[in-house]
Structure 1
């Protein structure tokens, strides 16, 4: 077939290379920079059997109208390239928040060899060696699956929905945000994609119209630091202080529920510890540093990090490092959430990382000035932390939205 692949920088180039290797004739258009492949003007003069585009592309992108060619998503194209559902366990994980934590927690108790694919890297288990670094666009599943070991498992974090190659789907959050130039709902896309999965595990307190939907609260109940679970012939409990943190409670519940659905006792989740950038605690130069810098950083996780840090560091001045380290096609850290977090925490110092032009740094500076808070601009999360250490406050909160 003659196929046009749109968006080279969010998995399109990987898709085009794999399609070409399978004997298809491909053109690739870089819809944002016009730097790779062919121009949209040249593509407009050609005919194609199929177009593949990511969900986050504006539905009114001119080539859709001008070419009048059938369009499928990058997710669907990956499913087609990988073929039928594989015999080995594949767990697909999507959602606005909690993907990486849920994936890592589940991987930590999976038996035998396997692969964990998240925004932190591709990790081989049980050795936990990092063997690659890929984005979580659906196209990344193509090179990831090349590292599959016979008899092993795959846990994959995927942006904006399911590809439909998995044994089990986990939707970690029902939080929403606009995509596709503000014209589509990310949550609507993800819930629509659940029909591709035979079984979908969802968080407590929400519902989903799906015959294979399993609310995690049917399997796991949390009280304080203890999680009790029961499914089929497996029952028991585990304790973990991370269950007190909202950012860990739901992922640990989902990991335990997924394990039960896979026939695995989740008791070893008692040994799971905080991940780098996800409430990781460090002690440096006389300060407690709580690192909450990850792709899911938002107002709520910032407040959670503050309460967690107060439990450890006690009273005293706080330095808050907040913002975003680079631009994002989809969700960002909204200015109003940043200001709300500053208002909630009332830090002595604020260090702003304005890595996305949508962050209105002047509004943040103005708010801090009006409320007697010292405000500093910094170019990076690393530079912000270096500056924070010189301020010598007992508690430093690092709450920068970043794609590490």
Structure 2
């Protein structure tokens, strides 16, 4: 726990560290904030000094006088201040744990059910489906990569946009709620790469695909398992039955946990299996099927159906409500959502979590969709709006996909400056998603297919 007069260094202001620094100052902590990635503008740094009394630096500073170092899980452990902190035996606390400590100290969510959702895939869709389900019986605040929404009776009202899902962004999201003086029953937070340890219910949607972080010194799955390691007393965990190491860790630590699965092959507390145009929910106590809307790729949402359904049932939500939510679901914007666009078929899979695997999955789905019609060209908009979104979309992965799949694509529009290293006679380039879609629309005709797979914040 932080105490007044502690001297604390907060590393990385880019990924919501500045919110952590500001909040610690409010609790009497002496804070030095280090802009590790040199991405914060001078005006913001001056504001931290002038309005909050925070010492700021763009370069590493001596570690000697600090009691704690607060660092993101993805920072290179060879960074000078982290290396010195380890050598001197200083405590290094993750951004996630710092946020959890701040929430515990501030007690601003006392009496509110707090749910955190992390994982490699299906975070936003799980959190959104769960918010819809729970909102039929209580008032829910949902913070995802879309923004901060208030859900009541199955209807969402966006009250703020622009926050990331880095753990530090939970703090301004809560401040927004306090300023609005809302009476809420439940908060659902989508959190990248782990949990804060403050949640009453923690959900890990999936640990796969795994990937390296912190300059390839550790794996993202290990960071996400902080949700298992640091859960507060009495909290519950919901784990994907595929993730054996999560379940094994929970058992070793004596954590209460429940499992879910979207596969008949895996034993779990709740199964949600796709069967034709239905999703079938099965457990020891329930068995019901839900008819699905045909105008989106439901196979991309089975993990979310299973995870959200498991938590909702645990919280006492009636099965009729789950049926109503799932049957009325039409996909999320940027999450394999299909819609018409001036006579074309648009499959929208542009979002912050998009990776090369989901891009190829979108292409395969689109080719199958177009094949059923027997006509039409394929326009593929692929790339990134900013390399800083998560870990960007590696150009070498794009080049490999292009080499394998270009024969099935009529026109490929690559988005982002880094994609210009990928060359082919069928490739065009665009600076951002909107320009890419405009080009695809201009070069296509009615009945053609436009696939949108751009890694971006939306």
Q: TM-score, normalised by structure 1?
A: 0.89
Distance in 1, matches of 2:97 and 2:67, equals: 15
Aligned pairs for 1:1-400 (under 5 A) are: 1-33=6-38, 35=40, 36=45, 38-39=56-57, 43-44=61-62, 47-67=65-85, 68=88, 69-83=90-104, 86-110=110-134, 111-126=137-152, 127-133=155-161, 134-146=163-175, 147=177, 149-174=182-207, 175-197=209-231, 198-207=235-244, 208-209=247-248, 210-211=250-251, 212-217=256-261, 218=268, 219-222=270-273, 223-230=275-282, 235-241=287-293, 245-264=298-317, 265=319, 266-268=322-324, 269-310=326-367, 312-313=369-370, 314=373, 315-328=375-388, 330-342=390-402, 343-344=404-405, 346-355=408-417, 357=418, 359=419, 361-362=420-421, 364-365=422-423, 368-369=424-425, 374-393=426-445, 394-400=448-454
1:142: Cα distance to partner?
Answer: 1.5
Kindly tell me the number of residue pairs found equivalent between the two proteins.
394
Distance in 1, matches of 2:277 and 2:60, equals: 60
- Is the 2:415–2:436 contact (alpha carbons within 8 Å) kept by the matching residues of 1? yes
What are the superposed Cα offsets for residues 54-105 of structure 1, whole Å, 9 maximum, x if unpaired? 1111111101233533210111111111117854322111112111111111
Report the RMSD for the aligned CA atoms in angstroms: 2.4
Deviates more, 1:124-133 or 1:84-93: 84-93
Give the secondary-structure state (helix, strand or coil) at the position aligned to 1:109.
helix
What are the superposed Cα offsets for residues 228-251 of structure 1, whole Å, 9 maximum, x if unpaired? 335576553322247964321111
Q: TM-score, normalised by structure 2?
A: 0.80
**CA spacing shift, 1:141–1:34, aligned 2, 3 Å:** closer
1:14: Cα distance to partner?
Answer: 0.5
Give the secondary-structure state (helix, strand or coil) at the position aligned to 1:251.
helix
Q: Kindly indicate whether structure 1 or structure 2 has the higher relative contact order, using CA contacts under 8 Å at least 6 residues apart.
A: 1
1:347: Cα distance to partner?
Answer: 0.5
- Is the 2:239–2:259 contact (alpha carbons within 8 Å) kept by the matching residues of 1? yes
Give the secondary-structure state (helix, strand or coil) at the position aligned to 1:294.
coil
**CA spacing shift, 1:195–1:257, aligned 2, 3 Å:** same
1:392: Cα distance to partner?
Answer: 1.4
- Is the 1:245–1:304 contact (alpha carbons within 8 Å) kept by the matching residues of 2? no
- Is the 1:178–1:331 contact (alpha carbons within 8 Å) kept by the matching residues of 2? no
**CA spacing shift, 1:42–1:226, aligned 2, 3 Å:** closer
What are the superposed Cα offsets for residues 245-268 of structure 1, whole Å, 9 maximum, x if unpaired? 432111122111121122213222
Question: Could you say which residue in structure 1 is the equivalent of 2:457?
Answer: 403
Distance in 2, matches of 1:34 and 1:384, equals: 26
- Is the 1:318–1:397 contact (alpha carbons within 8 Å) kept by the matching residues of 2? yes
